[in-house]
Chains A and B, each alone.
Chain A
């Protein structure tokens, strides 16, 4: 598998000297193209810190973080794009990385209330200087990918929680960004709507996006290809679905 994201010996400590609190300790992991990884762990285990680092929001870490920009399948030119470590980037470089490479989704949808669904999705592209017409076209593609066609002109307060979260996901993937980071994306939703959001994330992963999701909900984590368990800032274990559904089906109808 081709890696999209690599962490090598990543540590993060908040505070200094005797007040230092280690949030991540020597974390190494990899997420491949099109892989859906769930991160589980109790409060304070370092889940959100891990996501903030991968999302170029926190560069106060030691170790190495590598984000591979484009899919390897796109010929020799695509492959030649070097991976980047957020820590080595300038503030402007980090902002560009967030606009072009990684999408972030939170428990709160963080939509701009005065913009429509489509305008919210197009926002990162417009900030990036993409011509309006092209931005709208790409935003509409992303809106279609999260199954919101028909609601593009609604404002945030005219959308349900689940729909707002879909807009946030579309904003996270627009412009062909292939790394989507979601911190408790179903935390504010009821169980059924949460499952619908999982359907959207699963479909994005199946379409080639790498999804890293922090969650407390085991049933939602079960949609992922791999579940990583964090404890006290360390990866202590991981669970992986190995069974082919057809094998399970055969088991059940035997």
Chain B
């Protein structure tokens, strides 16, 4: 997502000033994505250039009101209608770390998993108590908070899965001796009978 669509969706509710747009955006998303005011004005300029937003009058304090155009409304509607793309998943440092750990000599994957699980669980406890203490807070903010809860939960479940997958792979590896082991065995047999 870009700030562009965030600002457009707020403007679709009514004309507004740049600073108010920034505040409203942050309030609704529980400040999980703080905007800097420069970003807001650059984006508004670009929206004006693309004909999605119109600049209104300046007030006495030099603040400019912005208003959405018909093309802007079409753009917002299309954004809400389309699913969020998974084409470019963000780089997941944890997945990369585990992928490297499973074949790294001297790295105990179980310990790595547990260290991460503890951190995730503590985060989940914090979010859960934040959610509880929020009570009947604004619905938009609760949904954002719960989205964080669900994604940490998914991380814990994935870690559980990794742990059992690694353990299963290790068991399999022990049951099926590698060609190296079978090549060594006759030699061991000989040396035993020789002694």
Give chain B's interface residue range (CB within 8 Å of chain A). 20 to 34
The verdict on A222 contacting B128 (CB below 8 Å), with A239-B118, A245-B133 known, is: yes
Q: Considering the complex, give the chain B residue whose CB is closest to the CB of A238.
A: B118
In contact, A218 and B122 (Cβ under 8 angstroms) = no
Q: Considering the complex, give the chain B residue whose CB is closest to the CB of A226.
A: B125
Other-chain contact of A241, B114, B122, B164 (Cβ < 8 Å): B122
In contact, A219 and B149 (Cβ under 8 angstroms) = yes
Q: Considering the complex, give the chain B residue whose CB is closest to the CB of A218.
A: B156
Give chain A's interface residue range (CB within 8 Å of chain B). 20 to 34
In contact, A229 and B122 (Cβ under 8 angstroms) = no
The CA of A238 and the CA of B133, in the complex, are separated in Å by 23
Other-chain contact of B125, A42, A222, A249 (Cβ < 8 Å): A222
Q: Considering the complex, give the chain B residue whose CB is closest to the CB of A225.
A: B125
Q: Considering the complex, give the chain B residue whose CB is closest to the CB of A236.
A: B114
CB distance from B177 to the nearest CB of A (A): 25
In contact, A248 and B114 (Cβ under 8 angstroms) = no
Q: Does B132 contact A (CB under 8 A)?
A: yes
Q: Does A214 contact B (CB under 8 A)?
A: no
Other-chain contact of A218, B32, B129, B153 (Cβ < 8 Å): B153
The verdict on A229 contacting B117 (CB below 8 Å), with A241-B122, A253-B31 known, is: yes
CB distance from B117 to the nearest CB of A (A): 7
Q: Does B157 contact A (CB under 8 A)?
A: yes
Other-chain contact of A249, B117, B133, B150, B156 (Cβ < 8 Å): B133
Interface of B is mostly: helix
Extra contacts besides A242-B126, A252-B30 (16): CB < 8 Å: A42-B164, A202-B132, A218-B120, A218-B124, A218-B152, A218-B153, A218-B157, A219-B149, A219-B150, A219-B153, A223-B128, A229-B118, A239-B118, A241-B128, A241-B129, A248-B130
Q: Does B12 contact A (CB under 8 A)?
A: no
In contact, A227 and B160 (Cβ under 8 angstroms) = no
The CA of A114 and the CA of B127, in the complex, are separated in Å by 42
The CA of A224 and the CA of B160, in the complex, are separated in Å by 19
Interface-central residue, B30, B120, B121, B164, by most chain A CB under 10 Å: B121
CB distance from B23 to the nearest CB of A (A): 11
Specify which chain B residues have a CB less than 8 angstroms from the CB of A128 in the assembled complex.
Answer: none
